[in-house]
Amino acid sequence: MSRAVVLGGGLAGVLTATVLAGHADEVVLVEGDRYPSGPHPRRGLPQSHHSHVLVAGGARALDALLPGTVDALLANGAHLRGLPGDALIYSADGWFRRLHTDAHLISCTRALLDQVVRRRALGGGDIEVWEDTRALGLIGDEARITGVAVSRQGAPPETVRTDLVVDATGRRSRSPRWLAEIGAGDVEEVSVATGLAYATRLYQAPGDLAATIPAIMLHPGVEKGRPARGATLFPVEDGRWIVTLTGTPGGEPPTDEQGFTAFARSLRHPIVADLMAEATPLGVVRPYRDTVNRRRFFERARLPAGFAVVGDAAVAVNPIHSHGMSVAALGALRLREELARHGIGPSLFTRLQAALAAEAERSWRMAIEQDTEQDTGQDTGQDTARAGKRTGERTRDRAAERDTGRSGCDGAPRREPNAFEREIRTRLAQAKLSSPRLAADFFGVQTLISADAATDRSEIARVLTGRPEPLLTAEEAIAQHPALAAWRRTRFTAATG
Ligand SMILES: Cc1cc2nc3c(=O)[nH]c(=O)nc-3n(C[C@H](O)[C@H](O)[C@H](O)COP(=O)(O)OP(=O)(O)OC[C@H]3O[C@@H](n4cnc5c(N)ncnc54)[C@H](O)[C@@H]3O)c2cc1C
C-alpha cells in the first residue's frame, strides 16, 4: 500500500495532492492552518489579502487538472479580462491600444479562488486533510525519505510513515534545513531582491462600473535612479475592486488612509485615484514586503528518493509578475505527466525535480530579466537577500554586478546599449502598444501561454522601417473603454458644472 504526504495546503499543495490521488493508495495533505469556512483570507497565507490574478496559461492548466474550475470561478463572480483588449494599461512606453489576443487573466480574490479550487479538489474525499497540523521535519537519510514529523493541534511530534513527501509549504519552506538534518546535500539558493513593497485595499465599487471596468495597470515610468511606483485596480467578486499600490525603496506606498490616497494620486496618471474616490473603502490597507525572487535549486542537489518540492518552496518570483499560482498549476500538470510515465515507484525520482524546475524556468527567467532591466539605480534591498544567506547558497548582488558589468540569470557580461540600440528598443517597445501581432507575442509570453515570443520577423521589419503609429494620449486610451469613458464624462461634467 502506497502513501503520499503533501506538506502545505496552499494552491501548489492542493493541486499536487489532487494529482497524487490518482496514483497513491492514500494521500494526506498536511496544513498548518484551519481553512476558513468561506472565501476569507487566512493567517498562513498572508498574501491572500493582496491582488491575485490567474493568467491564461495557469487558467488552462487549472482546467486541465480540475475541469470546469474556470467556469466555476466565473459563476462565483470572478471576471475574465482579455489582454490588452479588456485592459487599460499604461506601460513605461505608453498606453496600450485595445487589441484582441488569446491572452487573458482571471480576476477574483485569492480567497475565492482557493475556496473554489479546494471544494473541487478535496470535496471527493480521496484526500485526507489534516488541518492545524505543522510539518516539523523529514524522517529518513540521504538515500531515502521514510516519513515526516508533524505536530497535530500543538500535540507532541509524531512520525508519519510514507513513500513520498512533497514539500509545498511556500516561500518560508524549511526544506533546505530539513534535508541537512537528515544528512542530505546542500541546496543552492539564489535570491534577487526587488525591494518592492505592496499596499492593498478592497473597495465596494459604484454599481454601474463595478463589473464593466477594464483591468487597470499603471506601470512605473523609466526614470533612472527614481523609485519605481505603480498601481493596479482589478474587479473582483461581489461588486468589489481590489487596488494594489507598489513602490521600490524610497517610494513605498503608505498604509495610512491619507497616504494611500495621496500616493495613488501622485502616480503618472490619476485614473486609479479617481476611481478610488468614487468607491467605498472596505477594511484597512494591507502591506506586504516579502517580494524577493528566490530560487532553490533542488534539482541540482542530491535529493533522497521519495522527496520532491513544488510551488513557491522551490521557485518564488516577485509577485508583480503574477505567475506563482500559474506555475503551481503548470507544475502539478507536469507531475501528472511524470507519474503517468513512471508511476509512483523509484524511477519517478531520478528526473522529477528537474522536470518540475523546467516548468518554472521561463517564469523565473522572465522575472529576473525584467527585474534587472527595471533596475531603478536604487539599492533595492540587497540586505533582505543577504539576510537569507545560508551554507550552499548564492545570493545575487546587484551592486557587485554594476561594478563588474555582469548581470542576468546567467552572469553574462552586461554592456550598456548604444544610441542606435536604444532607438531600436524604444521603437519595438512602442510598436507592441499598437501592433496586434507584437502584442499577441508579448502577452502570450507574459501569460505563460507561449514559451517564447514567436518573433514575427516581417512584423518587426515593418515596424522598424515604417512610420511609427502615434502614441495614444491618456484621454484616447480611456475613450477606448466606453463604460469608463462615460463615467469620466459624468464625473468631470458634474465637477465643473
Ligand atoms: C503579495 C503577493 C501577490 C501575489 N500575486 C499573485 C498573482 O497575482 N498571481 C499569481 O499567480 N501569483 C501571485 N502570487 C504568488 C502566489 O501567492 C503563490 O505563488 C501561490 O500561492 C502558490 O504558492 P504555494 O502553494 O507554493 O505556497 P503558499 O500559497 O504560500 O502556501 C503554502 C501553504 O503551506 C502552509 N504551511 C507553511 N508552513 C507549513 C508547515 N510547516 N506545516 C504545514 N503547513 C505549512 C501554509 O499555511 C500555506 O497554506 C502572489 C504572491 C504574493 C506574496
Give, in order, the Cα–Cα distances in Å from 233 to each of 243, 278, 279. 5, 13, 12
User: What percent of the chain is helix, strand and coil (3-state, nearest 5)?
Assistant: 40, 25, 40
CA of 81 to the centre of ligand 1 (A): 23
At residue 257, the pLDDT reads 94
| Residues 299, 228: Cα–Cα separation, whole Å | 34
> Which CATH fold topology does 3-47+65-79+106-187+294-360 show?
FAD/NAD(P)-binding domain (3.50.50)
Give, in order, the Cα–Cα distances in Å from 34 to each of 9, 31, 44, 152. 10, 7, 9, 12
Report the phi/psi class of residue 195: left, alpha or beta, with left for phi > 0 and alpha for psi in -120 to 50. left
Type of residue found at 182:
I
Q: Answer yes or no: is the C-beta of 31 below 6 A from any ligand 1 atom.
A: yes
Q: What is the CA radius of gyration of the chain?
A: 23
CA of 494 to the centre of ligand 1 (A): 44
CA of 168 to the centre of ligand 1 (A): 9
Q: Answer yes or no: is the C-beta of 198 below 6 A from any ligand 1 atom.
A: yes
Between strands 87-91 and 26-30, the pairing is unpaired
pLDDT of 434-488, one tens digit each?
898 999 999 999 999 987 766 678 888 887 888 888 999 999 999 999 999 999 9
Q: Which of 29, 117, 131, 169 to mutate to test the pocket of ligand 1 (most atoms within 8 A of CB)?
A: 169
Please check whether residue 96 is in contact with residue 132, taking contact to mean a CB–CB distance below 8 angstroms.
no
The rounded Cα 81 to chain-centroid distance in angstroms is 17
CA of 44 to the centre of ligand 1 (A): 8
Name the residue with the closest Cα to ligand 1, atom 9: 322
DSSP code, position 144: B
| Residues 273, 259: Cα–Cα separation, whole Å | 12
At residue 386, the pLDDT reads 26
Type of residue found at 13:
G
Q: Answer yes or no: is the C-beta of 57 below 6 A from any ligand 1 atom.
A: no
Give, in order, the Cα–Cα distances in Å from 401 to each of 17, 361, 422, 442. 41, 22, 21, 28
The rounded Cα 263 to chain-centroid distance in angstroms is 23
Strand order in the sheet with 79-82: 52-55, 104-108, 79-82
CA of 415 to the centre of ligand 1 (A): 36
Query: Which H or E run contains 324?
Result: helix 324-342
Quickly list DSSP for 32-79. SSPPPSSS---TT-GGGGS-EEEEHHHHHHHHHHSTTHHHHHHHTT-E
Give, in order, the Cα–Cα distances in Å from 196 to each of 199, 227, 229, 291, 375. 10, 10, 9, 6, 11
- The grid coordinates listed for 15 are 493541486
Name the residue with the closest Cα to ligand 1, atom 50: 319
| Residues 116, 62: Cα–Cα separation, whole Å | 11
Name the residue with the closest Cα to ligand 1, atom 48: 10
At residue 350, the pLDDT reads 81
CA of 480 to the centre of ligand 1 (A): 36
| Residues 441, 193: Cα–Cα separation, whole Å | 28
Q: Relative to the CA of 52, which ligand 1 atom is closest? A: 8
The rounded Cα 406 to chain-centroid distance in angstroms is 27
Identify any residues that bridge with 150 across adjacent strands, giving them in sequence order.
135, 158
Q: Answer yes or no: is the C-beta of 192 below 6 A from any ligand 1 atom.
A: no
Name the residue with the closest Cα to ligand 1, atom 41: 135
Give, in order, the Cα–Cα distances in Å from 315 to each of 178, 265, 325, 355. 17, 34, 11, 13
273 Cβ contact partners less than 8 Å away, ≥ 6 residues apart: 261, 264, 265, 267
At residue 413, the pLDDT reads 54
pLDDT of 105-114, one tens digit each?
999 999 999 9
CA of 463 to the centre of ligand 1 (A): 41
At residue 388, the pLDDT reads 26
| Residues 255, 260: Cα–Cα separation, whole Å | 6
Which residues of the chain, if any, have pLDDT below 70? 373-415, 453-455, 494-497
Q: Relative to the CA of 8, which ligand 1 atom is closest? A: 34
- The grid coordinates listed for 131 are 488541518
